[in-house]
Amino acid sequence: MRPLSFAAALAVAATSLAADPLEGRWATIPDDFGNRGVIEIAPCGDMLCGTLVAAVDAAGQPTGGEYIGRNIIFDTVPEGGGRYRGRLWSPDRDETYHGRLVLAGDSITLKGCVLFVCRDGGTWTRVTGN
Give a yes or no: residue 5 inside a domain: no
- Do the beta carbons of residue 34 and residue 57 sit within 8 Å? yes
Ranges of beta strands (E only) in 1-130 are 24-27, 36-44, 47-56, 71-80, 83-90, 95-104, 107-114, 117-126
Give a yes or no: residue 6 inside a domain: no
Give a yes or no: residue 59 inside a domain: yes
In the predicted model, is pLDDT for residue 101 greater than 90? yes
Q: Which domain holds residue 85?
A: 20-126
Q: How confident is the model at residue 6 (pLDDT cuts 50, 70, 90)?
A: very low
Mean of the per-residue pLDDT values for the chain? 86
- Structural domains in the chain (count): 1
Q: What is the torsion angle, in degrees rounded to the nearest 10, for the CA atoms of residue 30, residue 33, residue 38 and residue 41?
A: -90
What was the pLDDT predicted at 109?
96
DSSP at 4: H
Q: What is the mean pLDDT of residues 77-95?
A: 93
Give a yes or no: residue 100 inside a domain: yes
Q: How confident is the model at residue 27 (pLDDT cuts 50, 70, 90)?
A: very high
Give a yes or no: residue 60 inside a domain: yes
What was the pLDDT predicted at 14?
37
Give a yes or no: residue 2 inside a domain: no
Q: What is the mean pLDDT of residues 43-63?
A: 95
Helix (H) or strand (E) holding 15: helix 2-17
CATH label of the domain that carries residue 70: 2.40.128.520
- Do the beta carbons of residue 48 and residue 21 sit within 8 Å? no
In the predicted model, is pLDDT for residue 65 greater than 70? yes
Give a yes or no: residue 103 inside a domain: yes
Give a yes or no: residue 109 inside a domain: yes
What was the pLDDT predicted at 3?
46
Q: What is the mean pLDDT of residues 40-65?
A: 94
In the predicted model, is pLDDT for residue 5 greater than 50? no
What was the pLDDT predicted at 93?
86
